[in-house]
Amino acid sequence: MASRLAASLALFFLLASVAVLIAVAVVQVHKRTYESAGLRFGIVLDAGSSRTTLYLYQWPAEKENNTGVVSQTLNCMVDGVPISSLGQNSSLDQMSWSSLKNCVAQAREIIPPSLHSITPIFLGATAGMRLLRSQNETASDEILQSLENYLKSLPFDFRNASIISGAEEGLYGWITANYLMGNFLERNMWNEWLHPQGAKTIGSMDLGGASTQIAFTTPIEEGASAEGYTRVRLYGYNYNVYTHSFLCYGKNEAHKKVLAALVLAQKPSKTVENPCFPVDYSTTMSAADIFGSPCTETPQDYDPDQQLHLVGTGDPARCRAVVRTIFDLESCRGQANCSFNGVYQPALSGHFLAYAGFYYTANALKLNSSFTLDSFNSTVFAFCSKNWTTLIANYEIREKYLSAYCYSSNYVYNLLVEGYKFTAETWNNIIFKKKVENSNIAWSLGYMLTTSNMIPAEPKRLWLPMDNSVFAGLLFVFSSLAILSLMFLIISLVRVCY
C-alpha cells in the first residue's frame, strides 16, 4: 500500500513538473514583446535659387527593407536671400543667417537631446549655386565653406554640404513623388508596411527658379544612350529612371531669356513692350537684371546700369509665341525621342506629378489639381487679357508675382507641350500638387530616403517576461524535480511489481 502511495506521489510530481516546465516555456516564448528602437531624425537644407528651406524628417530606427519609412516633421523657410546671393548685401546676409539659426533652433527643440549627436544634417544646393559656380567658382566655394563651418559647429552629425547635380535633383524629386503617392509602401490591415501589389510609379516634373527637371521610369530603349538613366534600389526593389535637368529653364531664369528677347527685338528703344505683362502695368529694370545672368547672352553694347522701361500690352497669343522662341525645337525636328535643345527623351508614359512652379502657376490661375489642356488654355488667355487693375482686384497675390503669371502660364504650356511633348490626351495624366498630406513635394525627402539606405538600421529591443537567470533557474529546479520524480516512480513501480 505504501509503495502504491509513493508511486502515485511520484507520478503527481512528475506530471506537475512537466506542466510547470511547459507553462514557463510557453510564457517566455509567446509573451515576449519587441520594443521599437525608437525614432531617428535627419535634417536636409534645401538651398534653392530663390530661398533656403530646412526640412526635418523622422523614421523608425528599424527600417523596412533597408530604407527608412520617412515622414516630414518640420518645414522652415529661411528669410532673406538664397545662398547664391550671400556676400552681396551685409544687411540681407545678416537677416538670412539669423533666420537660418532660428530654423535650426526649431529643429533642436523637436529632436531629443540624446539623439542630437547621431542626427545627420545635410545641405544640398541646387541650380542657383550651379549657375554661380559656372560664373565664379571661388565665390561658390567660399559660400559653401562658410555654411559648412556653421553646420559643423552644431551638435548634429554633419555629413555634407555640396552642390547637387541636376540629374540628382530630378531623381530625388521622383523618389519623393512616388513615396508620397504610396507607390513604394502601403500599410495593410495589421498596420504593417508592404510593397503594394501591382503598384505603378508616377513621373515627376519640378519647376524651380533656375532649372526644371523631368523624371519617369521606362525601359532603356535599344540603341539609346544610357546617360539619362539611373538605376535606384528602394525598399527592396530596383527602378530604372530616366531623368534630365534643364539648367537656365527654371521659371525665373527663363523669364530673363524672354525679357532679353523682347529687349533685343526692340533695340535701341529703352521703352519695351511686353505682351506677357498686363495692360496698364509697367516697371523699370536695369539691363543687369536681365543680362547679368549667365543664362542670357550679353549684347555687344551692354551697359549694366542702363534703365529699361517695360510696358505691358496684355497679348496672350504674342506672349506664347515669344516664350516659344527660347526653346530650340529645330534641333529635335524629325526625331521621335527628343524634347528640346537636342536632348534625348524617351516616350512619355504613365501619370505625372507636377510640383513647385508648376503647382504655383496652376494655383494662381485658380485651377484644381487636374484639368484639361483646353481648360488650361482658355483660363490662361482669359487671365492674360485682364488689365492690371482687374487683376489686383480679383487675385490675392503679391504684385511682383501677379504681374508675371501670364508669362509663367505660357511658359508652362510651351515647356510641357512643345518641350516635353504632352498632347491634349496625355495632359490629362498630369496632377498639379504642392503637398501630399502633410509633406511637401520636394527633392529633399527623396534625398533623405536615399540617404537612409546608407544609415545602419537598429534592431527592435526584445523584452522577455522573465530575466534569463530566473528562466534558467526555474528550468533547472523543475527539470531536476521531474527527473527525481521519474526515478522515484520507476523504483516504486519495481517494488510494487516484485
Active site residues: 169
- Reported as type and span, the H/E element at residue 94 is helix 90-110
Alpha-carbon distance 490 to 376, whole Å?
A: 93
- Grid coordinates standing for 25? 516555456
Q: Report whether 210 belongs to an annotated binding site.
A: yes
CA distance 165 to 142: 19
Q: According to the annotation, is 345 in a ligand binding site?
A: no
C-alpha span between 441 and 129 (Å, rounded): 21
Is the CB of residue 432 less than 8 Å from the CB of residue 370?
A: yes
325 annotated as ligand-binding: no
Residue 209 annotated as lining a ligand binding site: yes
Closest CA to 122 of 444, 417, 484: 444
- 483-488's contacts with Cβ under 8 Å and 24+ in sequence apart are 484/13, 485/10, 485/11, 485/13, 485/14, 485/17, 486/10, 486/14, 488/6, 488/10, 488/13
Residues composing the chain: 498
CA distance 69 to 61: 9
Residue 255's closest CA among 409, 51, 376?
409
Ordered alpha helix ranges (H), 160-315 = 166-180, 251-265, 287-291
Adjacent-strand bridge partners of 124: 46, 162
**Element holding 467 (H helix, E strand):** none
For CA atoms 419, 421, 427, 430, the dihedral sign is negative
Q: What is the DSSP letter of 185?
A: -
State the maximum Cα–Cα separation within the chain, in Å, rounded to a whole number. 130
Please check if 80 is assigned to a binding site.
no
Which secondary-structure segment (H or E) carries 364?
helix 357-364
Chain mean position to CA 444: 4
Using CA atoms, how far residue 259 sits from 69, 79, 275, 286, 293, in Å, is 45, 27, 10, 12, 12
List residues forming the annotated binding site.
Answer: 209-213
List residues forming the annotated binding site for ATP.
Answer: 209-213
